[in-house]
Structure 1
């Protein structure tokens, strides 16, 4: 059987076996006149089949042959005679369409691949300078650079050079190219060259001898005056030379480009002068430099220009680099920089990122550099600018386990090789896995995967990325555990000093105490200690990422001590993916949640259940509380049982809030407004259930199952508005109605006794956050009766009610007790709080007078009115009184305004056109922010507060809760003042009618 054109079908099948994707087209190309001499050469076909993309290699070879014209025979003879040339040339053509284009344009460059001697295997700067020696123009330099790159790529794809050697060769070629470019710039401006000394310092991957095929070459320029030249004039001359050198490398012409030269790592970045003197550099680093700048200087290397000046610069900055870990905010700065890198990745690219994503190259580099900066202070052997050399030194020194270092080395080499082969194809700067199937196939084959190249490629990538993610944490913390675990780990053990340095650099303020906790948790050969040694490397990383790592670790030890003999506890943390991370975030997020957990440690089980942190259904919660009260023997035990339910539910709410579970819907990002509403609902529901339990306990203690009078509890203020915070009191009214046959006097006595007993029970000493019942909003305030009948309320409100009481009743809602009585109370007060025609002008003036008096008299002495969340400018009271005035004025006509909830009422006012959309947004944002700050303060400090904490760690923890990165607490306070200032402007207009 033959295929069209008479070619045997067996030849096509043979090409298919050699890896051609389109064997029919390949067969036609092999029949081209220029390639006929090689068509049936088995060695040639085998060499094509060994390339990453045989189809591409064949097309590239045909283009080269056609470009050579009459000189083709020399190439064909050489290909038949030399296996190294076949492997190199075809390997490059099958891996890089960009280098194929170069050979088609400069066909004579194929001869650079003929040489196969020891000097050719691993060239250095001298060999590359020799290759570039004859360039006399920028275009000539571009052509010579690409020719040298051709040789590097040939060694790479054939396996003659490994990834570390290839990256070093690329850096050496960049060094030679920078020198040639500077020589060309000096030749164009000899007068500038005579006026100055200019040194070029390589940074980043070039400085670290680990450059990519396509990468910016980061540099810093140092200039000094030549003898007899004014310094300012010399710096200007050096700046012109440096700028010219950059253009030679960065410009694109018909001969392409070399690579961009990036000088943005210089002091002040792109806003700073391109060239500085050495003294100017040092003055900047001593006074103004940030931690990341010293981290970048770790790779500084003099590469071109005045060698003595360059070496002087490197020697002068080195001591500063190795003192960076002693800076006050070192760990915060380093972690923040890493978070910003991750946050900058477009969501669509995260899964394809080789460099910046989780388990990517930057994770390895970040981890190695951080350990270098911590331990390189006292161990000069760690000061290599090259990632893999530094990783090896860390292993030799015992700072990293040898097996961990070997696994990380292998993962880094694999990921860098992937990155190189992806870039090599089109010579474009990218760190993304290609999406096209043919590109992934080529990439897989270039890495040696032949049977199922795409599947094998992805499998290996997943394996290595997972190893990096795991080791990124383990690298820091495993040696710490080995240092305290009292086991024979078979490796060099970190000294106590080195372990303390590492913990301190990672944010632990008391490393000695932290080491004691680790020893208590992880020492010994028990199964419990073994599981802890598995968990702690990751947990310690999560603690270190918090505002108070020490508090997180101490709380974890306490919880572990309390639950250490419970078989499910460590198993939960080990086996349930989210449980350990959730626990770490909760324990390091402040005092309230850990304190609650330590009094009910079994609640840690909630952290492993996907739905465990969602708010409970109010009816189910009330039913559980009443059942627990019913099982108690007396009132005190009953209220203790109700408090036990409240403690667990308060922990559930606090934990869900801290990990962001209340502000999300599916995969949607955290919404602070949604979170504050859900937290308010959850706290209101659990406190209502607790009051219901206390009411049941109080009734049972004296009257058994039925009180002589119907009795209900009305929530007021934040309680009635479903807007309770963690530190809110429960504002209430007590309402009763005598049962049939019971006298008003007897019913009143019973109601008073029940209300009093409820208060007594809830005031019993407890270590939990108290639930304070405040009944001061009742008629006549503290002087009035604690509990009144419905008829008494009706008579009072009809005859004596004042405007502030009508305003307070806007947030009245039944929360416990007789539901029917509660509804009738609401019907009673509706005309009072939503009066027909609204309040008269005298009432409005009185409301405004009361508000002004509150502002002047109730703000605590010394409190900052710009940051007080309740009574301060644009705070909760400002927003709530503005909304409540609108409700009183328009609630009778607009039913949507009849709600005890501030945000819902504000939205209704906006929908009705009573408030402009922008004003409503401003008020809503301020109310949400002030509420979140109050909740954050309670979560962090374990006690209520209406302003930002002054203690730095507490303030930082509030910032983390509000979503601010470490080191940005000043920005947080500024934002709060800006938002509330804008809200106050709206309040002045809407509440005080000020234009």
Structure 2
């Protein structure tokens, strides 16, 4: 029980060890037992002390135990290390005399630098020749002795985590100096041939090294005297390689740490050593963004000091202008995402360094802010994370509270990382999942009541805080500056703020600053909420192809709804609503223009069901109710247009946000339903006006038949509505009068829909009617039947494949379809003459209708492998086989293609190729309309518009070339299928 009270978890083993002769003084000394009990792992501390005592001679043992009893500083240092590090306990058992390194407790010993470490290392390597060790092994032993002192200061709290990391970095620099001198001693001719400097990178360069970490370096060398450059580089390479081996090799004395030179130009594939001019040439011409981010921490740590200084003088200006590079922000953000994506799923929740809420989140956020602002503010140019964070806070780039929270979390996570690595001196960043290891880790951090529970709670709390601040930090400082631009106040200068906005991708930073000031200035509640929202919104805007448009749109919507109490509350309390709004506003022209016509539609973005398209029946019921309440036909159609505007916004917003997941069928049906309901409303308004004027019942019934993509439920955002008008006189009505009224209704419907408006137009195209523009706009059902029976051409049968009732008299529409079914699904299929005629028409269309100067490889409608190619191929199959294959009797292109595949009328691979091309071409057309606000069948020439199209299609910034190439590749394969099927089709299949 006594041992349990002292913190031992295995009292039987502890009692057995205390019974050994060497530990007899400990057994009877309550001070020593209490000190053991205060360590992170009393069992481990006692076991390691036992091994150390056994390795000493009797006189040395007596000296150690006597000093331990008399000296609290030594007791705390030695036992603290033994309870925290099994690896250092093993070192002391192998080199028992090294406990003397912990005796001294002078002020000069508390925070040694490179020079003090060098003296200790060189004494062990070059002065103690009688130890019988090789130079490299002597360095390994001397390194561990120095490490022992660093760990002792750490576990006793003499140094904090930042000081410990700095001491480890200084020790690494001293070790590299010693290793380079060992190499030079072995090959003195090489040392005389060149000057070589070792540049520390990563945590070694940043003065924040871990206990066990690769030490990242870059080598730069120059010839001495008249030595040829090639010979000097060969000599320097041999020196560098030998230095690496001295540090990295494992012997009976263990290893120091791996030296990693892979951050050099060209990485593993580049030469190990370069001249200064070669380094500069590479960074100027070839370096990627991440390489400049890595250089942020570069500093000379060994070798020729003057050459190291020259290197820094040459590369530093390039580091601090890196944020001017194209796609700088997106490159850094993408690199962070790739790091997280590459973490094994089984480890991500235990990954202390790379995982979400880990150390990398802090470091990336700080480095991003440094690289953006450090160009104009030299106070930010520290390679040390905590120093840089402090400078960012003092400069007003990060709020003081945020900086303090981030610093506290970073210190805690680094302490965890240090203590995890210290245990076995292994390079790891995974939080252990073993209960004993977690207990030791928690106790090492001062958690004694419930160490495992307390550790997990504190770790998760800090990780969540880091993740939150990581998401916020990149954007919030600019907002603080906008709100505090008064002279003399701490904050970004207007110049620095403009630089920051430019780095984020804003092309007009001055205008962006004006928008931010207008939104966030003042002390009102509205301004306070805006200051909460805008940091995140700025990031979402910056993640689009046009951040300026997004911010401008947000200002306009906010001004339109600023006095509406629910607006900002919705954005503040519904995270999805704010993000959805940001993505919509920065998506292009169409959706934002629709929203500005009816800003209250923002409410749709916060409703989980708000972005789901409504069905045709529900839309038509709403439109009809609105039309019924209107006083004039124009007012009625304005009301119908209002519904259409809102529903188009709902659909375009959902599409931009990704609700449809690239399925073009959903927006195609939605737009078709919206337009059908609008046409139904316009027809009802025309009928109401006609009846009001005549005072009599209508002498006819009218139905509107959708054709083309309208009939196929495949309308795009910029598609016209192809229709036919069919009427049937009422029983006993005068046929001439009925025809006149039907014509008046159709023309009034078209007039009402053509009344000028800022809404996207709904153009009615009736040119697919019999005799085209020369024929009557409206025919009776019997007239249609007579015409098709006697005069129809094969192209009209093909056009009727997509005929479907969309508005007006439902029974008449149904009977029209029954009338044309035999024509579009001919019982005998197609004759050879009919097939030739279809091919002739297709060729003529390609030759005559493709706009002059258009690239046939990228025209989505008439180009090679585009919509027309796929649709005509599918329609040829339908005309041939629909009479015997019910699945082909559909107005939808993809549905017909699926039916042809399922009945083996087309090879599954060919069907997949055609469908992929049709979907891609449809998505491109929709994207062009969404981005430009007007329809188009080709990719935009404007780079910003093209970037918007690419973003909608899922391409990351900087990959526009891939978009065009992917489109051409997809449609090229489709054209090959079309050539094989359409142009070689026979009535037999």
Q: When the two structures are superposed, what TM-score results if normalisation uses the length of structure 2?
A: 0.92
Bigger mean CA deviation after superposition, 293-302 or 322-331: 322-331
Unaligned runs of 5+ in 1: 1-9, 664-671
Q: 2:686 aligns with which of 674, 692, 698?
A: 698
The CA distance in 2 between the partners of 1:166 and 1:840, in whole Å, is 88
Q: 2:392 aligns with which of 380, 391, 394?
A: 394
Question: Any residues of structure 2 matched to 1:41-120 within 5 Å, and which?
Answer: 41-65=29-53, 74-120=63-109
Question: Any residues of structure 2 matched to 1:342-353 within 5 Å, and which?
Answer: 342-346=340-344, 349-353=347-351
Question: Any residues of structure 2 matched to 1:749-898 within 5 Å, and which?
Answer: 749-898=740-889
1:945 paired with 2:921, answer no
For the Cα contact (< 8 Å) 1:400–1:479, is it kept in 2?
A: yes
Question: Any residues of structure 2 matched to 1:704-723 within 5 Å, and which?
Answer: 707-723=698-714
For the Cα contact (< 8 Å) 2:39–2:45, is it kept in 1?
A: yes
For the Cα contact (< 8 Å) 2:485–2:493, is it kept in 1?
A: no
Q: Secondary structure at the match of 2:887?
A: helix
Question: 1:666 is matched with which residue?
Answer: none
Q: 1:580 aligns with which of 578, 581, 585?
A: 578
The CA distance in 1 between the partners of 2:819 and 2:254, in whole Å, is 84
Q: Secondary structure at the match of 1:302?
A: strand
Offset of 1:493 from its aligned partner? 3.0
What do the CA deviations read for 1:855-875 (whole angstroms, capped 9, x no partner)?
222222222222222222222
Question: 2:131 is matched with which residue?
Answer: none
Bigger mean CA deviation after superposition, 66-75 or 335-344: 66-75
Q: Secondary structure at the match of 2:818?
A: helix
Distance of aligned partners of 1:851 and 1:184 in 2 relative to their CA distance in 1, 3 Å threshold: farther
Question: 1:657 is matched with which residue?
Answer: 655
Offset of 1:276 from its aligned partner? 1.5
Question: 2:945 is matched with which residue?
Answer: 954
Offset of 1:182 from its aligned partner? 2.5
The CA distance in 2 between the partners of 1:232 and 1:603, in whole Å, is 70
1:198 paired with 2:196, answer yes
The CA distance in 2 between the partners of 1:465 and 1:540, in whole Å, is 24
Bigger mean CA deviation after superposition, 34-43 or 960-969: 34-43
Offset of 1:39 from its aligned partner? 3.8
The CA distance in 1 between the partners of 2:361 and 2:353, in whole Å, is 8
What do the CA deviations read for 1:353-406 (whole angstroms, capped 9, x no partner)?
433444433333233223323333333222221121122222333333333322
The CA distance in 2 between the partners of 1:384 and 1:76, in whole Å, is 45
Q: 1:284 aligns with which of 264, 282, 285?
A: 282
The CA distance in 2 between the partners of 1:619 and 1:21, in whole Å, is 73
Question: 2:164 is matched with which residue?
Answer: 166
The CA distance in 2 between the partners of 1:881 and 1:389, in whole Å, is 67
Bigger mean CA deviation after superposition, 517-526 or 334-343: 334-343
Question: Any residues of structure 2 matched to 1:379-458 within 5 Å, and which?
Answer: 379-458=377-456
Offset of 1:905 from its aligned partner? 2.8
What do the CA deviations read for 1:30-86 (whole angstroms, capped 9, x no partner)?
556654543454333433333334444444445555566866555544443443334
What do the CA deviations read for 1:750-770 (whole angstroms, capped 9, x no partner)?
332222222111111111111
Distance of aligned partners of 1:240 and 1:881 in 2 relative to their CA distance in 1, 3 Å threshold: farther
Question: Any residues of structure 2 matched to 1:106-505 within 5 Å, and which?
Answer: 106-133=95-122, 134-135=124-125, 136-253=134-251, 255-346=253-344, 349-472=347-470, 474-485=472-483, 491-505=489-503
Distance of aligned partners of 1:948 and 1:348 in 2 relative to their CA distance in 1, 3 Å threshold: farther
Distance of aligned partners of 1:293 and 1:810 in 2 relative to their CA distance in 1, 3 Å threshold: same
For the Cα contact (< 8 Å) 1:487–1:524, is it kept in 2?
A: no
Question: Any residues of structure 2 matched to 1:587-626 within 5 Å, and which?
Answer: 587-626=585-624
Cα RMSD over matched residues? Answer: 2.9
Offset of 1:555 from its aligned partner? 0.6
The CA distance in 1 between the partners of 2:251 and 2:982, in whole Å, is 67
Q: 2:671 aligns with which of 683, 690, 701?
A: 683
For the Cα contact (< 8 Å) 1:699–1:706, is it kept in 2?
A: no
The CA distance in 2 between the partners of 1:844 and 1:65, in whole Å, is 100
Offset of 1:300 from its aligned partner? 1.3
Offset of 1:554 from its aligned partner? 0.7
The CA distance in 2 between the partners of 1:255 and 1:990, in whole Å, is 74
For the Cα contact (< 8 Å) 1:422–1:430, is it kept in 2?
A: yes
The CA distance in 2 between the partners of 1:994 and 1:32, in whole Å, is 97
Offset of 1:302 from its aligned partner? 1.0
Distance of aligned partners of 1:226 and 1:801 in 2 relative to their CA distance in 1, 3 Å threshold: same
For the Cα contact (< 8 Å) 1:336–1:966, is it kept in 2?
A: no
The CA distance in 2 between the partners of 1:231 and 1:612, in whole Å, is 70
For the Cα contact (< 8 Å) 2:397–2:478, is it kept in 1?
A: no
The CA distance in 1 between the partners of 2:169 and 2:480, in whole Å, is 38
Question: Any residues of structure 2 matched to 1:623-634 within 5 Å, and which?
Answer: 623-634=621-632
Q: Secondary structure at the match of 1:132?
A: helix
Question: 1:986 is matched with which residue?
Answer: 977
Aligned length: 973
The CA distance in 2 between the partners of 1:91 and 1:848, in whole Å, is 89
Offset of 1:968 from its aligned partner? 1.7
The CA distance in 2 between the partners of 1:382 and 1:375, in whole Å, is 7
The CA distance in 2 between the partners of 1:469 and 1:975, in whole Å, is 36
The CA distance in 2 between the partners of 1:653 and 1:25, in whole Å, is 71
The CA distance in 1 between the partners of 2:709 and 2:689, in whole Å, is 30
Offset of 1:596 from its aligned partner? 1.1
What do the CA deviations read for 1:801-837 (whole angstroms, capped 9, x no partner)?
2222222222223322333333333333333333345
The CA distance in 2 between the partners of 1:433 and 1:749, in whole Å, is 84
Bigger mean CA deviation after superposition, 862-871 or 427-436: 427-436
For the Cα contact (< 8 Å) 1:748–1:787, is it kept in 2?
A: yes
The CA distance in 2 between the partners of 1:48 and 1:141, in whole Å, is 31
The CA distance in 2 between the partners of 1:480 and 1:426, in whole Å, is 44
Q: 2:551 aligns with which of 550, 553, 572?
A: 553
Offset of 1:543 from its aligned partner? 1.6
What do the CA deviations read for 1:577-636 (whole angstroms, capped 9, x no partner)?
222122111111212111111111111111122222122233322222222222212211
Distance of aligned partners of 1:745 and 1:465 in 2 relative to their CA distance in 1, 3 Å threshold: farther
Q: 1:11 aligns with which of 2, 24, 34?
A: 2
The CA distance in 2 between the partners of 1:27 and 1:823, in whole Å, is 96
Distance of aligned partners of 1:594 and 1:191 in 2 relative to their CA distance in 1, 3 Å threshold: same
Offset of 1:252 from its aligned partner? 4.3
What do the CA deviations read for 1:727-773 (whole angstroms, capped 9, x no partner)?
12222222333343335444433332222222111111111111212
The CA distance in 2 between the partners of 1:550 and 1:742, in whole Å, is 62
Distance of aligned partners of 1:835 and 1:576 in 2 relative to their CA distance in 1, 3 Å threshold: same
The CA distance in 1 between the partners of 2:20 and 2:612, in whole Å, is 71
Distance of aligned partners of 1:190 and 1:571 in 2 relative to their CA distance in 1, 3 Å threshold: same
Q: Secondary structure at the match of 1:661?
A: coil
